[in-house]
Amino acid sequence: MTTPVTYQRHDDIGVITIDNPPVNALGQAVRQGLLDAVAQGSEDHAARVLVLLATGRTFIAGADIREFGKPPQAPILPEVIARLETADKSIVAVLHGTALGGGFEVALGCQLRVALPGTKVGLPEVKLGLLPGAGGTQRLPRLVGIEVALDLITSGRFVGADEALKLGIVDIVAESNDPFEAGLAAARDVLAGKLTPRVTGDLASPAANPEAIERYRTRLETEAPELYSPFRCLEAIAASCEGSLADGLRRERELFFACMDSPQRAGLIHAFFAARTPHKVPDAGEVPTSTRFALLGEHPLFEHIRGKAERAGIKLDSRAAESTQACLIAAGADTACPAHCLSIALLSPEEAEDLTAMDADLALVAAATGMVELVALRATAEQQQATANALKALRLPIVVSRQGSLLATLAKAADDDIANPHAAMEAASLMLAERGWAYRTSDIDLLAIEALYYPRHLGGPHRQASRTIAEHGS
């Protein structure tokens, strides 16, 4: 049986390699593999220092989403990180791509951190209704202090390699773009005494900073008073300066489970999964991306996609030619779309309220926020998917639907009941689900959240309406 984590020695340097594509997520096999590899390195008497790196485009991008909502499997991540931190030999973590969430916490458990150019690190758990639950709220403050930890953890923002070096999160930014080369070079510098490893958990507790805690609390009470996890983040970070690391880790774990039990966590996780593949048309299969479009007329959206076209490998013309596959037609365009091209009407939500008489194969409904909905009218599933692939390649956040516009219906419901727009969207979402316009009911939720400012922590209007019916009946 193959393992996603391997150990090999190169001269007197032991190298632990994670190979768990596509993003080296921290699934159970990776967690167990890390424990086994550290044990191998500790028992390898010829290895004087260990290097931890990952293959592919990124270090550890976070937890394995396939484990979300399931009972935890041993070994759990806090146990793995504790083993890294107490290893007999120093471990140099080599970060590239992204080191996020649990992946960043793994790096914090190592004794020295090297970042390749372009690396980003962060603890975005707050965006999923959680807090870093494997030592992030305790080890990060020991490295950077209370205020910086508050900034990074309550916002969930990502930090680039240079800023991470300036803050003291990483020890060096390597010149090499190869994790293996950078890791061996750093390990040799450790052996030569040029770099000094340190155990993060053994660093002194950060100085108490009640002023910063209260400043961030006031900010959160103003900007996001309805949210739960950011305030638990505050409590966990404050605990980092009140006692030992073990005490802080226990408090962090208590607060982590409190967040896990919060309805907001479930709502935010639902929104997270809703955003994964909303451009996919069921039963369309693998369809080649359309690459030749004509932009007819003028629209602000055209400027956005023109700036993305070359990198996406998509040709945009002002007139249709024989090789043109589809025409994107703005209101008032004075040039017709030829019969051999797919016709796509570009509409505002107000213009898309009734598509029954629309003479087009597809309708592209564009919200002011940048979100777009691609509605199939006469187009086949394959034609819709080919177009959706192109729009996604052009960096447009896109949802696909059929027959009628989800976005237009939700927007009209909210506008018609400005006193209670959320309840209006919830009622409309149930009607949309019955009509069958949505390929997935989660697409209704995503559009409401991203385009119409429905509260993300509720998970979307259809989820909320369905929960209300389940709890109280219709």
Sequence-distant (6+) residues with CB within 8 A of 213 are 146, 150, 234, 237, 238
pLDDT of 64 reads 77
Q: How many CA atoms lie within 13 A of 166 on its CB side?
A: 6
pLDDT (average), residues 445-456:
97
* Mean pLDDT of the chain, nearest integer: 95
Where residue 335 falls among pLDDT bands split at 50, 70, 90?
Answer: confident
From 93-102, 179-188, 297-306, the region with the lowest mean pLDDT: 297-306
Q: Is the pLDDT of residue 33 over 70?
A: yes
pLDDT of 218 reads 97
Comparing 263 with 64, the larger pLDDT belongs to 263
Where residue 247 falls among pLDDT bands split at 50, 70, 90?
Answer: very high
What are 149-187's pLDDT values in tens digits?
Answer: 999 999 999 999 999 999 999 999 999 999 999 999 999
pLDDT of 71 reads 82
Question: Alpha helices, DSSP H only, in 174-314?
Answer: 179-191, 210-223, 229-239, 245-260, 263-274, 300-312
The answer to whether 234 touches 258, Cβ cutoff 8 Å, is no
pTM of the complete model: 0.88
pLDDT (average), residues 229-245:
95
Where residue 208 falls (left for φ over 0; alpha for ψ -120 to 50; beta otherwise) is: beta
SS3 content of the chain, % helix, strand, coil (to 5): 45, 15, 40
pLDDT of 68 reads 72
Q: Is the pLDDT of residue 398 over 90?
A: yes
CA proximity to 271, closest of 446, 103, 408:
446
Residues designated catalytic: 105, 125
Q: Is the pLDDT of residue 277 over 60?
A: yes
pLDDT of 471 reads 81
pLDDT of 474 reads 58
What are 118-136's pLDDT values in tens digits?
Answer: 999 999 999 999 999 999 9
Where residue 1 falls among pLDDT bands split at 50, 70, 90?
Answer: low
What are 421-434's pLDDT values in tens digits?
Answer: 999 999 999 999 99
pLDDT of 65 reads 73
